[in-house]
Amino acid sequence: MAWGRVDDNLAFHPKVMQAGNEAMGLWIRSLSWCAQQLTDGHVPDGIIHAFGGRELSHRLVDAGLWHQVDGGFEFNDWHDYQPTRESVMAEREAARSRMARVRANKRVSSLDVRANIDRSSDEVRLPHPIPSHPSTPKGVESTKRARRLPEDFSITPEMSAWAQGSVPGMDIKSATEQFMDYWHSAGGANARKLDWEKAWKVWMRRDYIKTPAGQRTVPGVPQPPTKAQLEAQMCSKHYGYPLPCDRCARGDD
């Protein structure tokens, strides 16, 4: 990957201020493209058209940042500030040579180690082989095994307290029933969990995010009536009149 260099004083340079933000957008994109393609600052007309158009290009020329050439435009003083194609290619070739030497040295070292296996000194050999796994103290379970959701899974007081603070107003009883139905019917390795309480919390958080705020009930806070409840309180004969209806009482049609 080649890099294009941008001076930290670029933002308020007089030439940049004269060119304006739109033209500088063309300038910076063209800089990136030239660095990638190793064109030594040449921006062909096709790229000019794709990035912003000739009007912006002429703004850069007027500001003294570019000059026009056959087939496109070029950055002023590219070779003074940016890596040239020749220098980038030379660095890449040098890097390939270094990596080739490193790989060759690794192969030689590996062969030396294998060849010396039978002639190693006893003084540097370990008296006992290193165990592949540390031993587990007697009576301590080595790993926590994943298991299916227990049939008697239920909401503990601690889980209920967590829900009040983390998913307030959510119907955790109904959500837990859905949680249990889903995982009791699921199959495969994913149906086994190390910690079902954590899995339950993840489920509750996801349901909470998906539940519209108006469908959550906050303990102690009265909820606004639903549309059906409001309609049940209105007179079916005289629109807009609540029950008991005054017009019905007067005998109005």
* HEC sequence for 79-130: HHHCCCHHHHHHHHHHHHHHHHHHHHHHHHHHHHHHHCHHHCCHHHCCCCCC
- pLDDT digit string (tens) for 187-243? 888 899 999 999 999 999 998 888 776 566 655 545 555 667 667 777 787 766 777
**H-helix or E-strand spanning residue 135:** none
Host domain of residue 168: 157-215
Based on the fold, state whether residues 162 and 92 are members of the same structural domain.
no
pLDDT at 157 over 90: yes
Decide which of 232 and 127 is more confident. Answer: 232
- Asked whether residue 139 is assigned to any structural domain, the reply reads no
> How many residues appear in the chain?
253
Token pair recorded at residue 144: 């926590």
The pLDDT assigned to 42 comes to 95
Mean pLDDT, residues 50-74: 93
Based on the fold, state whether residues 96 and 29 are members of the same structural domain.
yes
Pick from 191, 91, 196, 112: which is nearest to 152 by CA? 196
Token pair recorded at residue 205: 């958080």
To the nearest whole percent, how much of the chain has pLDDT over 90? 40
The pLDDT assigned to 61 comes to 96
The pLDDT assigned to 246 comes to 77
Based on the fold, state whether residues 4 and 83 are members of the same structural domain.
yes
Rounded to the nearest angstrom, the gap between the alpha carbon of residue 188 and the centroid of all alpha carbons in its chain is 28
Q: What angle do CA 28, 34, 37 make, to 5 degrees?
A: 140
The total number of structural domains in the chain stands at: 2
Based on the fold, state whether residues 27 and 105 are members of the same structural domain.
yes
Based on the fold, state whether residues 104 and 177 are members of the same structural domain.
no
- Asked whether residue 102 is assigned to any structural domain, the reply reads yes
Decide which of 126 and 236 is more confident. Answer: 236
Backbone dihedral angles phi then psi of residue 242, each to the nearest 5 degrees? -75, 155
Mean pLDDT, residues 13-21: 94
Q: Round to whole Å and give the CA distance between 55 and 50.
A: 13
- Asked whether residue 232 is assigned to any structural domain, the reply reads no
